[in-house]
Amino acid sequence: MVNSQIVLSVEKISKIYESAESNVHALKNICFQLRKGEMLAIMGTSGSGKSTLLNILGALDQPSSGKIKLNGIDSNDIFDEPRATDYRRENIGFIFQNFNLLKDLSVAENITLPLILQKYNSKEIEQKVNEMIELMGLTKWKNHRPVELSGGQQQRVAIGRAIITTPPIILADELTGNLDFNTSTEVLKVLVDMKKQFTQSILLVTHDPLVATYADRVLFFHDGQIIDEYHCSGTGDIEEIMGKFQNILGKKSV
Ligand SMILES: Nc1ncnc2c1ncn2[C@@H]1O[C@H](COP(=O)(O)OP(=O)(O)OP(=O)(O)O)[C@@H](O)[C@H]1O
Ligand SMILES: [Mg+2]
């Protein structure tokens, strides 16, 4: 359930990439709010600033102007180290298109990493990791390395790793980009279940209207701006989302 509590408030975020030849205005005064337990999808044309936004929200990059409020508190110092690392560790779980698992570690070891970084004791770690592996349906694969798993299984490991410390915000960039239809559906259902169980807020970037139907709300990006919004409350109409997306794709040539 989407809660009325605002977890993240994005206030007039702009990003200009400067270079000797030209400046790219990747984000222009972006404003929106993410509520507790909300799944927010971002769709948009290539180069519209989606990954730039995720990088800023994850404190992997700094905005040129604007601010982020976390639970109502100004969080501008999150962009400076060492605060940025603490902010990421305490608040953000990342899920990537290419899974980004450590290839020499087992499934259990990959899922364990965030708990070690947050200094959980070994008893807590063992219990939490076993629970997560079971939740993700990975018991059989616990001691296997990522290369021995299918794409969907690897993405479930990545989801387990992202949520094991129950960070309030999950950021996902094209999490189904390397998965087929059935596997995408399976991974999305896992994510929605996890969101319900832990009341996390999820912001996911996607090109896929099917993925967006699982969201509570979709923001459409074009040329660094939010140009449309769609409320679907987890049962979005794929035709309607596709229509809006096509409309934005059409603007590409303008
Ligand atoms: N590090 C960078 N230096 C300079 N320009 C950049 C950098 N990263 C992104 N850009 C530019 O900023 C704009 C937004 O890029 P971004 O990667 O955020 O787009 P996107 O919406 O994620 O696109 P895609 O759907 O293709 O992943 C683009 O014009 C891109 O060329
Ligand atoms: Mg991108």
Tens digit of pLDDT for each residue in 214-249? 999 999 999 999 999 999 876 768 888 888 888 888
Q: What pLDDT digit, counting tens, does each position of 89-125 carry?
A: 889 999 988 889 999 999 999 999 999 988 899 999 9
In a domain, 164, yes or no: yes
Average pLDDT, the chain: 91
Instruction: Write phi, then psi, for 125 (nearest 5 degrees).
Output: -60, -50
Q: What pLDDT digit, counting tens, does each position of 35-64 carry?
A: 999 999 999 989 999 999 999 999 999 999
Cα gap 71→139, rounded to integer Å: 36
pLDDT band at 254 (very low <50, low <70, confident <90, very high): very low
Strand runs labelled E in 197-252: 201-205, 217-222, 225-231
> Is the CB of 17 inside a 6 Å radius of any atom of ligand 1?
yes
Q: What is the CATH number of the domain that holds 203?
A: 3.40.50.300
In a domain, 131, yes or no: yes
* Structural domain boundaries, residue 44: 6-251
pLDDT band at 253 (very low <50, low <70, confident <90, very high): very low
141 CA distance to ligand 1 middle (Å): 36
In a domain, 20, yes or no: yes
In a domain, 1, yes or no: no
Judged by DSSP in three states, 232 sits in coil
In a domain, 92, yes or no: yes
> Is the CB of 44 inside a 6 Å radius of any atom of ligand 1?
yes
> Is the CB of 16 inside a 6 Å radius of any atom of ligand 1?
no
Pick from 18, 22, 45, 50 the residue to mutate for probing ligand 1's pocket: most ligand atoms within 8 Å of its CB.
50
**Length of the chain as a residue count:** 254
In a domain, 104, yes or no: yes
Q: What pLDDT digit, counting tens, does each position of 154-208 carry?
A: 999 999 999 999 999 999 999 888 888 888 888 888 888 888 888 899 999 998 8
The protein residue whose alpha carbon is closest to atom 30 in ligand 1 is 47
Instruction: Write phi, then psi, for 48 (nearest 5 degrees).
Output: -85, -5
Q: What pLDDT does residue 234 have?
A: 65
- How many structural domains comprise the chain? 1
| pLDDT for 1 beyond 70 | no
